[in-house]
Structure 1
Amino acid sequence: MTPHTDRKDISTAPGAEGRPDSGTDPKGLMPRLLRTMARVLARQGFDGIARYGNALGALLWHCLPGRRRLAIGAIAGHLGVSQQEAARIARESFAHNARSFLELVLVGQFGFELGDERLIIDNPDRLRRITESQRPLVAATAHLGAWEFMGSLLGQWQLDRPRMVVVRRNSNRTLNDFIFAMRGARGLQVVDHRNAVFTVLKGLKRNGCVGFLVDHNCRRDEAIFLPFLGETAAVNMGPALLAVRAEAEVWPAFMIREGDRYRLYIDEPLDTATLNGDRNDKVEAVCRFYTQAVERAVRAHPEQWFWMHKRWKTRPKHDD
């Protein structure tokens, strides 16, 4: 990937400007407050955010007993560990996910220029192959580790090609605009999943790279049902369908925390142009590919996954 070292202040990130902000508009207060809070947090740096994240995770652990029980039960049932070990993993998971939430304000400070100071590239050869590829690319990742920083790197990647991530929109418009601005702080285009098809296909046709979070539950009409951690799960087929339509390469990638550093793992890709069968066969093959990649990553780093999510909520029709 070609590093782009221009760091944008979060107050001027895409989407952080151009909205009502005058003293006569009461709706302008919340955006200003969010931006101010983000700037204050960002000044704490990586070590400060880690400390605050750990403290916030401990607070959530005590304040959300229902989510705590959900996480412990999911870990014990799907990893086959004792309740004691499941509780340990779950508690660490709360801390990691709180850090992920706060790391959003550091997206503009994270990038390839950090080198071994903060960022470790696990397999430089695979990163080189991505950089040299002239194909459409789909990056499949998960709510695992420091996943917000994947957007930092993608925003820097080859500025002459489209770079975007597809995410679910928050129902609160002010909060959604703030989150989109933070995620786009290094040039990444953040796309609302409800309006993604045309934008994503256009970007992929220009040999761009589009990132998707592929590990969360989805509606039945969006899903293919596949095994995940030993139980049938609803797997979102949207990213797979777009990859097949664009004949893209699919690259699983994950950002794992290692103490005060971050390790970028990149798996071997799947070239959708080489798949056999009809479109449905190909879409299922891609869904199975990135679901298995996520499962391997979760099993390797269970304490860094978002266990408090109701991953297996949507059931196949025959389970109703």
Structure 2
Amino acid sequence: MAEGRSGFRDWMQNAVARAVLGLALALPYETRVRFTGRAVSALIAPVAGWRRRIRRNLALAEPGLDAAARERIVRAVPDNVGRTLIEIYSGEEFVTRARDSQIGGPGLPALEAARAEGRAVVLVTAHLGNYDAVRGKLSREGYPMAALYRPMENPAFHEHYLEAISTIAEPVFPTDAKGISALVRHLKGGGIIGIVADVASRKAPLLSFYGQPAHTPLSAAEWAIRYDAALIPIFGIRQPDGFTFRIHVAAEIPKGDPGAMMQAYNDEVERIVRAHPDQWFWIHNRWKTYVPRKT
């Protein structure tokens, strides 16, 4: 009986998701992106508890932020999340905008040199702007790039989600042992891999982010050392028009202790988030060690 209820629940969730996505995708591109952003901010964010999570994270990371700025971020972040979701499902319409993005930054010469030399590259990004704009841009600029994805718990939803992210660029590998092995083989062969590394895992060591302890996986740095790959932070920053992006390539992180390398990554992410606080996914539980004070 439990399995039947779970299967029915998965079916219902996927049916609702497909209906909402189908409605949005029937709209002209900019209208659908704007509509989905506003719908997620106004309807999903309060129900899902995102507004509470964002306020909690901001209180920890930015305690001096004034109320007006805080509430602007509380509403802008889910809007960006909604835009990102429907962009991922928009296929070539999104890829066209990603491909046309301006790319620059202090790390661009190192990225170009690595491609020319056939050297492996580990690109580390964050849940900011639309991180898949990076894949959409680089994969069509002569940078064959592999990436990891986290399989969805709902198998019915997962099927069309995988199709959507595969349309942007391939190959993509699941975050299981087989998928990670395939990703590493791609890197060992002199390829480029992309990792969204601003995720908390209690198995990872505690580094600093916004001056607070944050579990940060070291795998990106460890792979860069092991396979003599360049470790380069990169970000797909949404532009003021809300529909286009700028790809910022930060300076290559020098080889050294993996913890120090990933701390440099955290510091770079913090600099970007401070410049674009409404674009980072403050809905994530980045600081799992944080326990709010009782009042």
The two structures share one fold, judged by TM-score above 0.5:
yes
Partner of 1:134: 118
Partner of 1:173: 155
1:266 aligns with 2:266: no
1:226 aligns with 2:201: no
Report the CA distance shift for 1:32/1:310 in structure 2 as closer, same or farther (over 3 A): closer
Query: Partners in 1 of 2:169 and 2:131 — Cα distance?
Result: 17
CA RMSD, 1 decimal: 2.9
Report the CA distance shift for 1:121/1:77 in structure 2 as closer, same or farther (over 3 A): same
How many Å apart are 1:145 and its aligned residue?
0.5
Q: Is the 8 A contact 2:24 2:35 kept in 1?
A: no
Q: May I ask how many residue pairs the two structures share in their alignment?
A: 274
Query: Partners in 2 of 1:90 and 1:29 — Cα distance?
Result: 29
How many Å apart are 1:44 and its aligned residue?
3.4
Q: Is the 8 A contact 2:218 2:258 kept in 1?
A: yes
1:15-36 C-alpha deviation (Å, 9 max, x unpaired): xxxxxxxxxxxx9999899778
Report the CA distance shift for 1:311/1:32 in structure 2 as closer, same or farther (over 3 A): closer
Letter of the aligned partner of 1:76 in structure 2? Answer: A
Matches within 5 A, 1:159-308: 161=144, 163-195=145-177, 196-218=179-201, 220-221=202-203, 223-258=204-239, 259=241, 260-272=243-255, 275=256, 282-308=257-283
Query: Partners in 1 of 2:168 and 2:21 — Cα distance?
Result: 15
1:310 aligns with 2:285: yes
Partner of 2:131: 147
Partner of 1:4: none
Letter of the aligned partner of 1:303 in structure 2? Answer: D
How many Å apart are 1:45 and its aligned residue?
4.6
Letter of the aligned partner of 2:70 in structure 1? Answer: A
Partner of 1:120: 102
1:37-61 C-alpha deviation (Å, 9 max, x unpaired): 7576445354123212232222223
Query: Partners in 2 of 1:30 and 1:305 — Cα distance?
Result: 26
How many Å apart are 1:108 and its aligned residue?
3.0
Which ranges in structure 2 are unaligned for 5 or more consecutive residues?
Answer: 1-9, 291-295
How many Å apart are 1:266 and its aligned residue?
0.7
Letter of the aligned partner of 1:217 in structure 2? Answer: A
Report the CA distance shift for 1:231/1:185 in structure 2 as closer, same or farther (over 3 A): same
Query: Partners in 1 of 2:281 and 2:232 — Cα distance?
Result: 21
How many Å apart are 1:67 and its aligned residue?
2.3
How many Å apart are 1:214 and its aligned residue?
0.7
Partner of 2:33: 50
Instruction: Give me the identity figure in percent.
Output: 25
Instruction: Give the one of 39, 50, 53 matched to 1:67.
Output: 50
Report the CA distance shift for 1:200/1:233 in structure 2 as closer, same or farther (over 3 A): same
How many Å apart are 1:207 and its aligned residue?
0.9
